[in-house]
Structures are given as structure tokens and as C-alpha cells.
Chains A and B, each alone.
Chain A
Amino acid sequence: KAGVTQTPRYLIKTRGQQVTLSCSPISGHRSVSWYQQTPGQGLQFLFEYFSETQRNKGNFPGRFSGRQFSNSRSEMNVSTLELGDSALYLCASSSSPEGAPLHFGNGTRLTVT
């Protein structure tokens, strides 16, 4: 079974631009979560989607948004990029919301200059 796939692996953007990151979950997984990882803040939860519905959202500004498609693929969008948005963005899928472990992708390294 193919793992969680995130594209692209690396991105360099300029302040003020917007960016879209993509995530394809493991086949059959309907729950997709996004996390931001930085050296200072560690791993922080962004949001979780299940069957195209956002079930939970972390404490991030409205510039961060996401969506999930009917095939469970998910996209995350960050608008009006700031320098502090530079981070590793990890996508994870799970087979159900109840107690199942997360399966992570390799992440997208976003650098904002």
C-alpha cells in the first residue's frame, strides 16, 4: 500500500504570496490532518478533515485554510505569507478518528523570504 504522499517536497516563496500544499492519504483513509513543525514551537496541529468536513481546527490565523476532496486528497493553503510561516508542513492520514495512529508523509519544507 502506498504511503502518504505530499507535494511538493520543497517550496520557496516570497512574503505576501500564497501557497498551496497537497496531500494524498493512504488508500482507504478518510481522516487527514495537517501539522506545522518548527524548531521553536515543535509540532502544532493545524486542522483535521474527515469525509470532506473540517472536524477540528488548531489555533492558527485565518490565513491558513484547507479542504478535502471526495477522494480524501487534501490541500492546505496559506495566504499572505509571512516569514514566520517558514516551517515543515506535515500531512497525516488515519483509518478512523478513534484512536488510530497517524501515518505521516515526508512533509513539505516551506521557506518564506
Chain B
Amino acid sequence: AQTVTQSQPEMSVQEAETVTLSCTYDTSESDYYLFWYKQPPSRQMILVIRQEAYKQQNATENRFSVNFQKAAKSFSLKISDSQLGDAAMYFCAYRSAGYYGQNFVFGPGTRLSVLP
């Protein structure tokens, strides 16, 4: 079974600074997808970024980028120019590839605070 670990329960960053959230996962599969989700106090989970394991290029979405190290099974999220609205719980998630739907496996989350 796959597992996802986020070793930082809480982190803080100064507004306009850069922060990196860590995520490692364990799998024996070669094809899979990785995601970062954000859950603000409004509690709706919002997709931040998606990475396909067979793509070596790191995904980027505006101020959000990932550092995907497949051999190390590492998938960190970098937030540049942090804004107050970035404060939220961030979850790393894994999903197996394959036609039949596979459940997502989520990490325990990292609570990010943004300091003005």
C-alpha cells in the first residue's frame, strides 16, 4: 500500500517570502500522479498543482512550483511571494495510474501560517 508523509506539521512564512513544504511517499509503482491540495478555513479542498510521474519536468502554476524527485520519492511544494491568502492546510496526495479508479492517499497535512 502507498503511504504519503509530510514531516512538517506546521510552518510559517513572512509575507512576500518563499517557503517549501516537504512531501515524501512510498510506492512500488512506476506510474502514478501526485497532487498538492490546499484547505483554507472555509474547508473546501482546492487543487494547487498536479504532477505526472512519467514527466520529468516539474509542474508550475503561477507562484506555486514543485520539486519532483522520482528516485528519492520526494515531491516538495514551493510557494513564492507568499500572500496572506496562502495560509491554509496543505495536503500532498498520491494516486495510482490505471483505468480502474484508485483511491487517493493523502498525507497528514502541513499547516502554513503567513505572517504580515
Contacts and interface: CB of A to CB of B under 8 A. Distances in A.
B103 A102 contact: no
B100 A55 contact: yes
B28 interface: no
A102 B104 contact: yes
Interface in B92-107: 95, 97-107
A88 interface: yes
Contacts of A97: 99-102
B100 A43 contact: no
Interface string A20-53: 0000000000010101000000110100101000
Interface residues of A, number: 24
Contacts of A98: 97-99
Interface of A: 31, 33, 35, 42-43, 45, 48, 50, 55-56, 58, 88, 90, 92, 97-99, 101-107
A99 B108 CA distance: 21
A45 B47 contact: no
B103 A99 contact: no
B106 A43 contact: yes
B90 interface: no
B97 A99 contact: yes
A107 to B, nearest CB: 5
B45 A90 contact: yes
B103 A106 contact: no
Interface in B24-59: 33, 35, 37, 42-47, 50, 52
B66 to A, nearest CB: 14
Contacts of A50: 101
Given A55-B101, A98-B98, A99-B97, A42 B45 contact: no
7 closest A-B pairs by beta carbon, nearest first, are A97-B101, A104-B45, A45-B103, A43-B106, A55-B101, A99-B33, A101-B47
A107 B103 contact: no
Nearest to A50: B101
A108 to B, nearest CB: 10
Nearest to B32: A99
Nearest to B102: A56
B106 A42 contact: yes
